[in-house]
Chain A
């Protein structure tokens, strides 16, 4: 909870100090003053002091008018004086009864990004302030860092802000700036929509929905959150898996190729991992065990044969020389063929990748087109109804180059593109596999070639040796085989370790998958629906009392998706349909609905901060009687946990009559900011 106990504005010129002080109480507070007297300034100063001005729009530097920034005068016809220094201070209180004073300078003082707080006696009573603390606002990190003001403010209010997904795929806390538009209705843009308007610069996905889920404390948000956490954990495991697998594959590539490790963890691998290393022997992939067995047998065989001297071995060597020469020619040719095969495969891989990319873009566009239908008639006839605005003929395929063709429906098109994406993904995966396989074969052949070349060299040298020297051929073959056996063994050891690690990852992954499956679907729970219907009832009752006329109050319902109001109407065929409210109700009924929505939310939302600020609710030349009904309704709420602050320029006696004795009416004649008596 957050209540404003006191607001203090100061604007200092060379000659005097201008200022205003407003004490606020729980319940209804009304600031009554004429037009352009500084009511909005006062209310915006609250937002400014809390560092939340970006919730009104990202471009606002200081959302305060020139009286707090540049020049000021006590009455309309007096001369202006230049503002040298100015600041705003508010005293806020939370549910635990803690009070702090918050100060932010505007002109001439400390950096505007600095927000200072004190504990201490109330602002009104003055006295020494204690426990000063400085916080940074606006800057990156102010919502997450320890000394960021938003972290502090959220804690003060008693909010634990949920993490929400952003458009760029990252996550952020649900920033206070996103929530405050549901507590503070600013005069210029605030009345344009029922919910919000929410700032877009935070780039939070589905921001209206996230804010409403948080304020109403819906289970669906928590379930989704848990699901996201699980998904994130799963993808972390996937990344670890890919890295570990990649590392093992790198080692494997020096010897042969790796089989049996899926590209992503599987439940089967978690239980019974099975991986094989294969090496190329005479054009065939054989299991490493087999190759090792053959190599060992050959070593034994060679070690048992007595070493001949060179002279005896020469005829055999010459024969062997011929064989090796042919081998080298064959291998070189094969390598060339493999190289061009790999090139081809890579080309296909690239083509598939490009196609996938453009399909994904296409999918996004079709999906956007589907979402755009929400805007309905606002899009115009051509886009909204597919009727030509001029000739009234059907234009559904008008942008297509071949006019005779009939275009798919959007939904059908989206699933068509999705299935294509799926297809191409599979294609790309197998292309990747083939490219890898090509390279593995290439490397194996290359090794063979090098071995043959070195054998050729040693044969030549051997033939030239003195005739009584022992033949080197056998010895060299033994050395080559030993080297291979060593490589194979060290790889097998690495594979055993990696296999254990991979199995552990797969086990964690399986467990997470299991939990994800067990998480209930993203639907509203019964509890959630009860909360939403209660809010809907409260809104319907209120708009009735406020003189809402565009629809029967019972025809205004809340979307179950993000709780925005919808109107139930009948379409041409007489079926009941839900329509967006913005285009269906009169401007003044939109205002009535906004009053009702925010008050009902204050009354019912469990995570509400207990504060609603309406800047000039008398918009759109609304009936005075409606406005008084609203003020009376606001005054009726006596709960100590709720505070409503309203500014109005309606005449004072009428306001007083509407709100009764108990509301706190603060009245100003002329400008709110006045020279203070020394």
Chain B
């Protein structure tokens, strides 16, 4: 009888508290959204299940425990290994031609990082977060999951779970968040600006781009090199045309394997005692502000650029909203919005892809600068 009592007392069931149950519900919501709404399923499912594992009492399956997930967390996230490998795959999967064909859209990708800095300032001065925490929260505005994880794991590892969940949740909510902001900042006339096709780009230029960008960005901001360097290496594998096997692996099996481990380990940081805090709610609110300001930043800067462009060269300011780096969703949102507003006459998908991929570079650079200045 004593043995049976001891067995019961040592079971997870006997040690379950309300916090674990709340986290099971949150995990269920993430998994539900991934399956039924198709919101970032490749990440929300591993994150959701990682959350369940982390909240099983006595199972030692949390990122901060001593089990297998902790091993993945310590060796994959704390060491900065996994996010750059995701960037390698992103580089393979990204076509930078729309950006190269219209280099002016580099600037829209920069302007759309505004939300990062607005959210960081709000977090520090309005809500009392430390500078490092504020910067890690602000990067949510970059709309880039791996970058958010990369920076949070360095500056505020205790906030990694909420920051990652906010980043990926808002990325999946781009189709809901962005259209009202685009509508607010653009006129009917501006939405009807039809942009000509970008100039064609030679294979030589496409191959030189990752090499030149990798060198220049890494020389300027060395702490951004893990992200930018591997992003550009992946893009070179894509464009050089002689590394088909490496391209397929980096853009397929490798990114999938890393996504599994990354999602699971991030989810496992969401043990109840770390996640169920006021800080998490504040991070979610700040994340929404970050996204809104980033979208607005891109839109407003596109309008400013138009002040200096002749009539035939004007850009459709809506593509500025795609400067947040949720690739390719932000560009698709802009395309759908403009097309709907103009009854299908104007379709700026390819022009919007320019700032969209520039935003990936912009958010990685912003993360690197924060690392340089705050560590």
* Real binding pair: no
* Chain B residues near A (Cβ < 8 Å): none
